[in-house]
Amino acid sequence: MEIRLSEKALNWFKQEMEVEKGDFIRFYARYGGSSPFHEGFSLGVTREQPHEIGIESVVEDIHFYIEKSDEWFFNEHHLVVDVADSSDELTYSYEK
């Protein structure tokens, strides 16, 4: 499993969340909503220091990660993060 970010997504994080080199961005399973794999759970994103990194992708010295305890949510798929042209919001897809 890996985390893949488009250039647009990286720029979104820089502009909307004001991330800088050395920051940590966590993707996590949150209660509520739905996902392709788990009804009642959706993907959340926050800036916080890791406890136990399961998967990490470092882009321009910004750490994007998933905690080991949240790996189940991704059902052994890669997380692909992009930005929708129509809404300028993050989009998530999952690739085997």
Per residue in 19-66, pLDDT (tens digit) is: 999 999 999 987 655 555 655 567 899 999 999 999 999 999 999 999
State residue 32's pLDDT score: 58
Distance CA 9, CA 66 (A): 17
**Across 3-9, average pLDDT:** 97
Confidence (pTM): 0.89
Residues 6+ apart with CB under 8 A from 28: 43, 44, 45, 46, 66, 67, 70, 73
> Out of 3.40.50.2300, 3.30.10.20, 2.60.300.12, 2.40.50.100, which CATH number does the structure's domain 3-95 have?
2.60.300.12
12 strand-pairing partners: none
Angle made by CA atoms 43, 15, 56, in degrees to the nearest 5: 45
Whose tokens are 């690739």? That residue is 95
State residue 75's pLDDT score: 81
